[in-house]
Amino acid sequence: MSAPTTSAPVPAPAPGPAPRSGAATVELRGLHRSFGSTTALDGLDLTVRPGELLALLGPSGCGKTTALRMLAGFEHPDSGEILLDGKDVTAVPAHRRDAGMVFQSYSLFPHLNAVDNVAFGLRMRRVGAAERRGRARELLDLVGLADKGDRFPHQLSGGQQQRVALARALALRPRVLLLDEPLSALDAKVRLTLREEIRRVQQELGITTLFITHDQEEALSMADRVAVMRAGRLEQCAAPAELYARPATAFVAEFVGTMSRVPGRLRAADGTVEVLGKRLPVDGTPPAGGDGTEVDVLVRPEAVRVAAGAGPDRVAGASFLGATVRLTVLLGDGTQVKADLPAHDAAALTPGAPVRVSLPDRPVLVSPRPH
């Protein structure tokens, strides 16, 4: 499995303000859902804390969108419970869930201007015209569109349309905000700006938020915690820095960030692994196997040390990333390893240059060798 690329570890976001009064606790308990022979959720257990922004991250088909739609009330589990502040809402219809949802496709009404799009839900609840328009303009101001209220969707950019969709989801003052890959249709620069804006609004309101994404950089930069899913199950849920530095499984290690597999051998007697000519302690529980069992050692690019000069390894390629250069190094046994070096240190390490790769003296994550 090839791992997505990412930059250096993203630190956990600074703690936001205390959750607002009424911020909800969301609990998903033992959710199962199948579509014919396909299992979408396989006993999912997850808790979202009051006022927290939690990102659900995983590959396509892992079940994250099914989980979000169940929380919104658009899908129903075959078994399991959905609780809001301890109250079972599994059978409660979507319009009574007290949740606001922002879709990937925006879903704005083309014949309504921004103010009327935001106020639509309030109109359905028979809120007076003056009050609903005032509330809509407040929310447009909150998302940075105070001067765009009279514009129609076709007069707004994609990023502006998504801000209107966010304001509309907040108009009914929901206790839970649900975001279904809201940035995936936007270009990179707009995504960066809008994810910062969504985080600012979420922190300002202190609203409990579940954010679905397949983009690990979005998840790591925005969320208080990230829940990584695989095949309908939860692999790990942790703060971004912990998820990156201490992945609970090999799947999380390779899915979140870039990870190279380096051949090693277990030394069962002392709980170490022999890799690149040295013995290192194993981080966590070693995989089953006796002394000398072949395993893979999982290493991040920033942990790999590369020394220029005569050595058994060769530089196979280099990618300039600004302040750093990511080298692809071919080890003597044919294994490829990624290594991140400061740009000035990598200047002379051109493809074909002989080098020696090593690892620092600290515990490493070990995975069984795939068969």
* Spatial distance between the Cα atoms of 282 and 302, rounded to a whole number of angstroms: 18
- Tell me 362's DSSP state: S
Query: Is the same domain home to 358 and 314?
Result: yes
Q: What is the biggest distance separating any 2 CA atoms in the chain, rounded to whole angstroms? A: 79
- Side chain identity at residue 55, one-letter code: A
| Rounded Cα gap, residues 49 and 193, in angstroms | 26
Euclidean distance between CA atoms 85 and 121, whole angstroms:
24
Q: Strand, helix or coil at 345?
A: helix
Identify whether residues 264 and 236 lie together within a single domain: no
Kindly report the CATH number assigned to the domain that includes residue 293: 2.40.50.140
Domain that holds residue 237: 26-98+174-254
pLDDT at position 15, please?
41
The kind and range of the H/E element at 47 are strand 38-48
* In a domain? residue 305: yes
Residue 145 lies in a domain: no
Residues 212 and 333 reside in one and the same domain? no
End-to-end CA distance of the chain: 13
- Give residue 22's pLDDT: 62
Nearest Cα neighbor of 257 from 338, 314, 328 is: 338
**Domain with 32 in it: what CATH number?**
3.40.50.300
Residue 32 lies in a domain: yes
Number of residues that this document lists for the chain: 371
Domain boundary among 206, 231, 254: 254
Chain centre to alpha carbon of residue 300: 18
Where is the domain boundary, 229, 254, 279? 254
Within this chain, do residues 246 and 264 fall inside the same structural domain, yes or no? no
Could you give the number of structural domains in the chain? 2
Q: Is 130 inside any structural domain?
A: no
Residues 179 and 234 in one domain: yes
Residue pLDDT tens, the chain, 371 long: 333 344 444 444 444 334 455 689 999 999 999 999 999 999 999 999 999 999 999 998 999 999 999 999 999 999 999 999 999 999 999 988 889 988 877 788 999 999 999 999 888 888 888 888 898 999 999 888 999 999 999 999 988 998 999 999 998 889 999 999 888 877 888 888 888 888 988 998 999 999 999 888 889 999 999 999 999 999 999 999 999 988 988 899 889 989 999 999 998 778 899 999 999 999 887 777 778 889 999 999 999 999 988 788 999 999 998 899 999 999 989 999 999 999 988 888 989 999 999 999 999 999 888 76
Query: Do 241 and 359 share a domain, yes or no?
Result: no
Q: What's the rounded Cα separation, in Å, for the pair 83 and 87?
A: 5
CA torsion 316-321-324-330 (nearest 10°) is -10
Q: DSSP 3-state assignment of 230?
A: strand
Q: How far apart are CA 88 and CA 28, in angstroms?
A: 10
Backbone Cα Rg of the chain:
24
Regarding whether 250 and 187 lie in a shared domain, the answer is: yes
Helices (H), ranges, the chain: 64-72, 114-124, 129-142, 158-170, 188-205, 216-222, 240-245, 250-255, 343-346
**Shared-domain flag, residues 180 and 247:** yes
Which runs of consecutive H residues, i.e. helices, occur in 206-272? 216-222, 240-245, 250-255
287 near 369, Cβ under 8 Å?
Answer: no
Give the Cα-Cα-Cα angle 206, 210, 214 (nearest 5 degrees): 135
Within a domain: residue 39? yes
Same domain? 265 vs 339: yes
